[in-house]
Amino acid sequence: MGRTRVTKSFFSSQKETAWLDEMGRKGCRLVERKDGRYFFEEEPEKQFHYRVEWLGCSPESEEGASYVASRAAVGETLCASYSLWGYFLSETPIGESEEGRKRTASHYRNTAILFYVFDAVAAVLAGYHFVIRGFLEKQGLLLQAPTLEKSGKFLANLWNRLAYGAKELLYRYAKLWAKLLGNTKATTVLAVLIPLVIVLSVLGGLWLTEWLKNRPAKKPVAAEPEEEAKTDEQTEVSGEDPQHC
């Protein structure tokens, strides 16, 4: 029985499950999960199926242990856990757990909200330095701050022990923003905030997409019962013979 280590990274639990199923078809049993590393034991004569879910609590806690036991009762074993994520394994296909799907969707939703909160804060600060700060500065309401040129010299002195390539990269990055926004007192801050807003927006969008994929489907509304046919349409009028064409 061999042991295999694979380094992978996923944003999507569905894609992670699909990849684990692919490994399972090769007879790879997941035994441990650390950071971006997956450890498998090879059993070529068998096939395994997986399901990745957000537990929201430690599997050793009372709530976690109860949920894991309920999955084990139907033959789905918790083979690994990492950062409150649970990895369930079975030798037969694993159906989707409604509770597990709700937990996972809730995790993605809350993470997306958190990213967008930080994104909004960074965007407000960027807007302040891009628009409002210039106006206040013209009115003499701001204290003097170092320009981008002086900030660049300070950073160069601070990191003078770094390799020349790193300092050259920093210099070129500062020159790029100075060319885009001008060498103003706000450029140094914007050089940090604008990329931060972009990164947070992308990450928030990724988590939001995963929430939409994992949120439980709405239950179909039961159709209203059809009205019974009126009895008077089924009754024949007494004393009258049907007409013939």
Question: pLDDT tens for residues 38-50?
Answer: 999 999 899 999 9
Residue boundaries of the structural domains of the chain: 3-95, 102-214
- What is the C-alpha to C-alpha distance for residues 164 and 170, in angstroms, rounded to an integer? 10
Question: Do residues 13 and 53 make contact, with C-beta atoms less than 8 angstroms apart?
Answer: yes
Question: Do residues 72 and 49 make contact, with C-beta atoms less than 8 angstroms apart?
Answer: no
For CA atoms 51, 54, 55, 59, the dihedral sign is positive
233 pLDDT above the threshold of 80:
no
- In the chain, the percentage of residues whose pLDDT exceeds 70 is 66
- What is the C-alpha to C-alpha distance for residues 144 and 147, in angstroms, rounded to an integer? 9
Other Cβ atoms within 10 Å of 115 Cβ, number: 20
159 pLDDT above the threshold of 90:
no
235 pLDDT above the threshold of 50:
no
Tens digits of residue pLDDT in 102-126: 888 888 888 889 888 888 888 887 7
Side-chain-facing half-sphere of 116: CA atoms under 13 Å: 11
Tokens 């706000």 belong to residue: 186
Q: Which residues of 215-234 are buried (b: 16+ CB within 10 A; e: fewer)?
A: eeeeeeeeeeeeeeeeeeee
pLDDT value of position 127: 76
Tens digits of residue pLDDT in 62-112: 999 999 999 999 999 999 999 899 999 999 999 888 888 888 888 888 888
Could you give the angle at the alpha carbon of 229 between the alpha carbons of 227 and 230, nearest 5°?
A: 110
